[in-house]
Amino acid sequence: MKKFISIAMTTAMAVSMMSGAVMADETEDAGFDPGTGKVYYLNFKPEVDQQWQDLAAAYTDEYGVEVNVLTAASGEYETTLQSEMAKSNAPTIFNVGNKSSAETWDDYTYDLTGTWIDEHSANKNFNIRYGDKLSSVAYCYESFGIIYNKTILEGYCGMDDAVVSSIDEIKDLDTLTAVAMDINERVDEINDELGTELTEAFVGSGLDSGNSWRYSGHLANMPLYYEFLDDGVDPVTDGEAEIDGTYLDNFRAVWDLYVNTSAADKATLDSGTLSAADEFGLGEAVFYQNGDWEFSTLMNEDNGYDLTADDLGMMPIYFGVDDENEGLCSGTENCWAINSQASEEDIESSLAFLQWVASSDEGRAVTNEDMGLTMNFDTYTGDFASVNPFGAAAQELAAEGKTAVEWAFNATPNVDTWRQGVVDALIEYTANGQTDEDWDGVVSAFVDGWAEQWELAHAE
């Protein structure tokens, strides 16, 4: 993944040195044809629904092509996709984010080889192939880690008896734990000295259906990644039928850090009443495990947040394994697929719409600035280079030689079922006092649940 990001960076720099051919709005110069069909986009990213609605309306106004966008609720994309694909007016553009999904929807994915989005893809390693077909094209790549309020954390570092005197000293799990515990114990003192309104170090770790994926998916990625590496398994494409849970003690240490330095009631993490984004956005917490997709939410003034890009930073999810070499978790599940069962006119118009999104000034401005995405096309240079500080953090760590943690969770069998088993066990463990006995339940859900779901998913 470090190599992939380096390739993307090199491509971007090379393109930016050209004569500016890709800097201008390309839709007219490229003989752009919007077609005569209609477009129905099933959006994978609920946090940018309004921006997609606005782009759809703008495109319809300019070209007269009907564009409809439906956004699936968080954690409900596959269920929504199955429902919508069964309808006569099915989506013409949908998300196929891994090889398992490409296999599932193989009869519905149009071969994108040679299309505009294929030819202008900056890093083709992120694209999804199944068999001889290019099933989907990655339109952005993402990184997740621990978001932190740089302004508050720098203020803390300047206080007497702070655990560290600089954010740069936080480079491993032990130091992060010491800092978070100290902040959590000195909330009132920090508020008095800095004029902040802190209530906790880490945001509440919600285990309801809308938030639990950050822990059953993204935090769980860490032990999966390191175990796959130990076993010589490709972390992204392969996976393995059985796992040992080698690094689940590390998982426990990080999870305990999150919940022990938060003001959230441990008995109600699954209640759905927590809003981690609000806690962080309103300056109530310093640390927040999430990804660069959260940038647009945190920058949205309508949410009542008073943050700027300069307030934000992201560090790795230090895991106590290879902290000194660890970068952010980088990859993508955001890949555009075209419904091969749609009419030829709808396919052509859908491809044209995606080209417009990634090449027009309006499309590039909205996806880059308003959505805060790190887009994966060679048209995003100069004025349209990424403004997302989290994406920039991933690139900076890669440039320092850090190893990006690949998205091993893409190999999860029967992902929703397996994750729910882990979540149920985490709920019980956390609510019941975080005992060793209850942790055994988490281990069983993780390890035994994986073997069970793998067997079901790969049964012939």
Q: What is the mean pLDDT of each run of 10 residues along the chain (460 residues)?
A: 40 37 45 94 96 98 98 93 97 93 96 97 87 96 95 98 98 98 98 97 96 96 97 85 98 98 97 96 98 90 92 97 95 94 98 98 94 89 86 84 90 94 98 97 98 90
Q: Residues 2-141+332-380: name the CATH superfamily.
A: Periplasmic binding protein-like II (3.40.190.10)
At residue 460, the pLDDT reads: 66
Burial (0-12, 13-18, 19+ Cβ within 10 Å), 381: buried
At residue 17, the pLDDT reads: 35
H/E segment holding residue 128? strand 128-130
At residue 366, the pLDDT reads: 96
Q: Where in the chain is the domain with CATH 3.40.190.10?
A: 2-141+332-380, 146-328+407-457
Q: How far apart are the first and last CA of the chain?
A: 32
Tens digit of each residue's pLDDT (9 = 90 or more) over 394-434: 878 887 889 889 899 988 999 999 999 999 999 999 999 99
At residue 5, the pLDDT reads: 41
Reduce the DSSP state of residue 359 to 3 states and report it.
helix
Strand segments, DSSP code E, in 33-127 are 39-43, 67-71, 93-95
Read off the pTM. Answer: 0.75
At residue 246, the pLDDT reads: 98
d(C-alpha 44, C-alpha 306), whole Å: 27
At residue 1, the pLDDT reads: 39
At residue 25, the pLDDT reads: 52
Q: Of 272, 273, 283, 271, give the one whose Cα is nearest residue 199.
A: 283
Tens digit of each residue's pLDDT (9 = 90 or more) over 205-228: 999 999 999 999 999 999 999 999
- CATH fold of 146-328+407-457: D-Maltodextrin-Binding Protein; domain 2 (3.40.190)
